Amino acid sequence: MTRGSVHTVGIDLAVQNAGTASCSIEWASDGPKIGTPLLGRSDDQLMEDVKGADIVGIDAPFGWPEPFFDAISAHRAHGAWPGRGKGLEGFRQTLRLRCTDLVVKREALLTPLSVSADKIAVTTFRCALLLDRLEHEKRWRIDRSGRTGRTIEVYPAAALKQWDLTQPKSYKAADAYAERTTIASGLAKALDVTLPSAVEKACRETDHALDALVSAVVARAAALGWTRQPWSDDEREHADVEGWIHFPHPDATLRLVGGDRGPTGPAGWPPRR
């Protein structure tokens, strides 16, 4: 998968079709062919969009915190609340944030939305159905940790942070045209590629297109080993159930077009900030 043609797809998943986008990139020997992001995608359309993909980066959580499962199961069964006798704030944090969220918070200096206590949970319902369809209709092996299979969980904001592409003003605002244009241009420069004009226009107009593009690029990074993997036994155990955010190495961008392999473990990553 390193030197030959590799097909990645990025999906910016939202609760509604209107906020959902996909973007495909063919990483060929003569350079990446970046497709124009597709907007307003339904689940059926997404199933078509991922045809032939080697790896798909989905911007949505793949699961919920394990302590959250245990707590609601105990509550449903009228059992003892697992937080009894524990520090209130500390225990609540274990219900709110997954192992991977804490890694992103510590190493990428961003705190993902809580999949158990924020609106992102509704997007995860849709993601769970999409993963289920990929597994049972397309016969894809779904590995929530992203260590195997064709799907990985991504977080575009963390990728932009790692690659120093963030802007002082949020690029999510409807009128943040300049911010989105700057990010797309910076990403193209970092990859040493030229974005087609239609891709530039789509990314300028909406953050959904931009996030789909970034997700497709991070999928390439994951395929080559340039994303943060679950390294320890504890991280792997949690990732298998809760999902795992694959955020990229700071030095990944210039290696992606050429297909260079990334570091295989923590020794190749910069020290924690």
- Give the rounded percent of residues in the chain with a pLDDT score beyond 90: 90
For residues 130-156, give the mean pLDDT: 97
Instruction: Output the pLDDT for position 233.
Output: 97
Both 181 and 84 in one domain: the answer is: no
- Domain encompassing residue 85: 67-96
Region 26-40 average pLDDT: 96
Q: How confident is the model at residue 2 (pLDDT cuts 50, 70, 90)?
A: very low
At 197 the pLDDT is 98
Instruction: Specify if 267 maps to a domain.
Output: no
The CATH number of residue 143's host domain is: 3.30.420.10
Burial class (CB in 10 A: 0-12, 13-18, 19+), 142: middle
Please tell me the distance from the alpha carbon of residue 117 to that of residue 15, in angstroms, as a whole number: 16
If pLDDT is split at 50, 70 and 90, which confidence band does 267 have? confident
- Helix/strand number for the chain, H first, E second: 11, 6
Q: Which pTM was predicted?
A: 0.95
* Mean pLDDT across 42-48: 98
The yes-or-no verdict on residue 1 having pLDDT over 70 is: no
> Identity (one letter) of the amino acid at 231?
W
Q: Please indicate, yes or no, whether residues 42 and 78 belong to a single structural domain of this protein.
A: no
Same domain membership, residue 159 and residue 84: no
pLDDT above 60 (res 3):
no
What's the whole-number mean pLDDT along residues 74-81? 94
Handedness of CA 228, 96, 118, 124 (dihedral sign): positive
**273 pLDDT higher than 80:** no
Residue 272 has what pLDDT?
64
Strand-strand pairing, 55-59 and 38-39: unpaired
**229, pLDDT greater than 60:** yes
Q: Which two tokens stand for residue 110?
A: 């961003």
Q: With bands split at pLDDT 50, 70 and 90, how would you rate the model's confidence at 84?
A: confident
Q: What pLDDT is attached to residue 4?
A: 65
Q: 83 pLDDT band (50/70/90 cuts)?
A: confident
- Residues 153 and 31 reside in one and the same domain: yes
pLDDT at 170 over 90: yes
Q: Are both 26 and 92 inside the same structural domain?
A: no
The whole-number average pLDDT for the span 164-171 is: 95
- In terms of domains, do 106 and 80 share one? no
CB of 6 closer than 8 Å to CB of 25: no
Q: Work out the number of other CB atoms within 10 angstroms of the CB of residue 51.
A: 10
Query: Mean pLDDT in the chain?
Result: 95
DSSP annotation of 268 reads G
Specify whether 55 is located in the same domain as 161. yes
Cα of first residue to Cα of last residue in the chain, in angstroms, is: 31
